[in-house]
Chain A
């Protein structure tokens, strides 16, 4: 079945870049997603990339997709303390009816 893997923790200093990595199994997913969960809140869509793209940039966020290796990454430039959160990578299930989420990467930003 589908599976999405990501590392559980990342710790960076304020102003540094953060890179969160994800691997997925289902290459039929049309889009791949990054969701952000702040403490005490539900998830919010942060960004997404169409599977035919290699890269997408959105202000401080850069998403890289290596379809051959089924590897997705999220780079946050100039990381701020407000970026501290859990970041989830997600892909569609094979039926295209629901999203499969990774376990989430907890990003901790120290000043």
Chain B
């Protein structure tokens, strides 16, 4: 079975801190995604990557950046965390284009910014 592992289940950070959220997948998938999930808003796409060192902005990229130096690892970076970035962050991967392939999700990282 495909496994998508997010390094932290819960994180508490202070406003202004630089925050790294890490995600690793073990099935050699081409595509990786970062979503954030907020009550009443569902899932919103932040960034995705279809290859090493490639990245594409999603619907809400402001305040975030990403890094994909190795195929299996996709990092989400909050350059200067703010309270409105308190959220559940979900990483996902898929083999080819996500339009016609199923996404495999990690368990999520609940980030609180104080």
Known contacts A42-B4, A43-B105; A99 and B99 CB within 8 A of each other: yes
Scan B15-45; emit 1 where CB is below 8 A from any A CB, else 0. Answer: 0000000000000000001010000111101
Contact B105 A92, beta carbon cutoff 8 Å: no
Is B79 close to A, CB under 8 A?
no
Scan A92-111; emit 1 where CB is below 8 A from any B CB, else 0. Answer: 11011111111110000000
Interface of B is mostly: loop
Interface residues on A, range: 20 to 34
Contact A97 B4, beta carbon cutoff 8 Å: no
Q: How far is the CB of B10 from chain A (nearest CB, A)?
A: 11
Contact B42 A102, beta carbon cutoff 8 Å: yes
Contact A40 B99, beta carbon cutoff 8 Å: no
Known contacts A29-B99, A45-B103; A98 and B58 CB within 8 A of each other: yes
Scan B76-114; emit 1 where CB is below 8 A from any A CB, else 0. Answer: 000000000000001010000111101101111000000
Contact A42 B100, beta carbon cutoff 8 Å: no
By a CB distance below 8 angstroms, the chain A residues around B43 are 43, 88, 101, 104
Residues of A whose CB lies within 8 Å of any CB of B are: 8, 29-31, 33, 35, 40-45, 48, 88, 92-93, 95-104
